[in-house]
A and B are shown apart, each in its own frame.
Chain A
């Protein structure tokens, strides 16, 4: 357990020292949300209809941007080789890295989403559903992204390629994530969408670290 916790703490420390921790993702999130009324106009009711979907798209973009350096920095400075010699399976170390990056992106985004939902004039009753869907769904985004980040770890400036690989895989997550908010807005039951979202997160919790670890081994050999 020690190596896994140590890596989690190290990545959190690095996130705070390099990128200002959660503030970077939050500032980006705020920037995207604040552009929306400028692009779509702020007529009453107009933003409320698209609000939950916009929050999800902003979250997807924020998670994508955070993934670029997930493994690449470790790959370039030789830390990745040390991880392979650790007294812990690589897949669990990958999970520790994913957890650290989720704590500094997905979690603060979900926590701050009610505030941004108010800005988009989303209905009060729907706001908790949107926040909950982000809380349940962003782990899946991070874990899927980790696999694509591992696949593109040796590609210089591979952010675009990473996004190209990750975006199609994000589709089911966004469908059920934004779908939960849309269902709640139309007064339909949204529990099923949230449960499917949780199922996706759990599925990628198992598959993601194993696949990412395999991809990293491939790149080191």
Chain B
């Protein structure tokens, strides 16, 4: 069902065409166009309320567009939602499940069949594997959320503030997994206020106004 990350994302390319998003009667962004080529990262920047999270939610299909379209090429007959990873503000983890259980559930939900122990080891969560998520620190939870990206290979990563709560080692881990993902032909879009550890294009959103690609 799910092929390896490289094959699944052979030639994935995303283009957004004149996107308009209105929420609560307020125009979040309008006439927003950009393209993201395979193996590249797009950093979305802008002040609070500029619509960075809304843009990611639009691409993930969680939020409806008022005009425009997001096109993803190279998915074949795979449904768009199953090609996308979305790491949101909230980590999407159940406090009562252990870290290992949470990751195993996520893999069964989102697809993928690789072993999980190496992923937990890579994210530095071996000792926390049997610990309920409610006892993990914010940074450890973030690492566990990022571990989902590795457990279920999907060509498109949408990351909302991926570096929040991560320590220096965690940021380095994020750099490593991002570089590997991009080298495998995937693409990533990250909304952030920080400097991303991997070089890429930048899209600047202005508050309540049209954005412009830089």
Are A and B part of the same complex?
yes
Which residues of chain A have a CB within 8 Å of any CB of chain B?
Answer: 2-3, 5-7, 10, 13-14, 17-18, 73, 76-79, 81-87, 220-221
13 example contacts (A-B, Cβ-Cβ < 8 A) are as follows A3-B111, A10-B105, A13-B101, A14-B94, A14-B96, A77-B95, A79-B92, A81-B62, A81-B90, A82-B148, A84-B61, A221-B62, A221-B64
A70 CA to B192 CA in the complex, in Å?
Answer: 32
Q: Within the complex, what minimum Cβ distance (angstroms) separates A216 from chain B?
A: 11
Check: B190 CB closer than 8 A to any chain A CB: no
**Residue positions of B touching A, CB distance < 8 A:** 1-2, 57, 60-64, 79, 81-82, 84-86, 88-97, 101, 105-106, 108-111, 148
Query: Which residue of B is nearest A90, CB measured?
Result: B81
* Residue from B82, B101, B108 within 8 A of A85 (CB atoms): B82
Known: A13-B101, A79-B92, A82-B92; 16 extra A-B contacts, CB below 8 A, are A3-B111, A6-B105, A7-B105, A10-B105, A77-B90, A77-B95, A78-B90, A79-B94, A81-B62, A81-B90, A82-B86, A82-B106, A84-B60, A85-B86, A86-B109, A220-B63
Distance (whole angstroms) from the CB of B180 to the closest CB of chain A: 21
Give the distance to chain B from A124, nearest Cβ to Cβ, in Å: 42
Using Cβ atoms and an 8 Å threshold, which residues of chain A touch B79? Answer: 87
Nearest residue, chain B, Cβ from A18: B96
Among B60, B95, B110, chain A packs the most CB atoms within 10 A around the CB of: B110
Q: Take A84-B61, A85-B86, A221-B64 as given contacts and tell me if A6 and B109 are in contact as well, using a CB distance cutoff of 8 Å.
A: yes
Check A3–B108 contact: CB distance below 8 A: yes
Instruction: Answer whether A81 and B88 are a contact pair too, CB < 8 Å, given A221-B62, A221-B63.
Output: yes
Q: A7-B109, A84-B62, A85-B82 are in contact. Are A78 and B88 (CB under 8 A)?
A: yes
B62 touches A82 (CB 8 A): no
Q: How far is the CA of A5 from the CA of B105 in the complex (A)?
A: 10
Contact B93 A77 (CB under 8 A): yes
Please, which residue of chain A has its CB at the minimum distance from the CB of B63? A221
Secondary structure class of chain A's binding surface, majority of residues: helix
Shortest Cβ distance from A7 into B: residue: B109
Complex: A165 Cα to B99 Cα, angstroms? 37
Chain B residue numbers with a CB within 8 Å of A76 are 90
Residues in chain A near residue B92, CB distance under 8 A = 77-79, 81-82
A86 and B110 form a contact (CB under 8 A): yes
Q: Which residue of B lies closest to A81 (CB)?
A: B88
CA distance A161 to B156 in the complex (A): 39
Contact A77 B91 (CB under 8 A): yes
Q: Name the contact of B96 in the complex, choosing from A17, A81, A83 (C-beta under 8 A).
A: A17
The residue of chain A having its C-beta at the shortest distance from the C-beta of B93 within the complex is A77
Residues of chain A contacted by B106 (CB below 8 angstroms): 82
Contact A85 B60 (CB under 8 A): yes
A221–B60 alpha-carbon span in the complex (Å):
11
- Residues of the B chain whose Cβ atoms lie less than 8 Å from the Cβ of A7: 105, 109
The docked-state distance in angstroms from the alpha carbon of A83 to that of B63 is: 14
Q: For residue B59, give the distance in angstroms from its CB to the closest CB of chain A.
A: 11
In the complex, which residues of chain B have a beta carbon less than 8 angstroms from the beta carbon of A3? Answer: 108-111
Q: Which residues of B contact A73 (CB under 8 A)?
A: 94
Q: Tell me the minimal C-beta distance from B174 to chain A in angstroms.
A: 18
User: Roughly how many angstroms separate A213 CA and B158 CA in the complex, as a whole number?
Assistant: 23
Give Cα A12–Cα B108 distance, bound, in whole angstroms: 16
Contacts A3-B108, A85-B86, A221-B64 given; indicate if A78 touches B94 (C-beta within 8 A). Answer: no
Closest partner residue, chain B, to A221 (CB atom) = B63
CA gap between A18 and B97 in the complex, in Å: 10
Report the minimal beta-carbon distance from B137 to chain A, rounded to whole angstroms: 16
A13 touches B110 (CB 8 A): no
Residues of chain B with a CB closer than 8 A to A5's CB: 108
Chain B residue numbers with a CB within 8 Å of A82 are 86, 92, 106, 109-110, 148
Q: Is the CB of A85 within 8 A of B91?
A: no
**CA–CA, A194 and B82, complex, Å:** 42
Please give the distance in Å from A72's CB to the nearest CB on chain B.
Answer: 13
Q: Are A87 and B90 in contact (CB under 8 A)?
A: no
- Indicate if the CB atoms of B94 and A87 lie closer than 8 Å: no
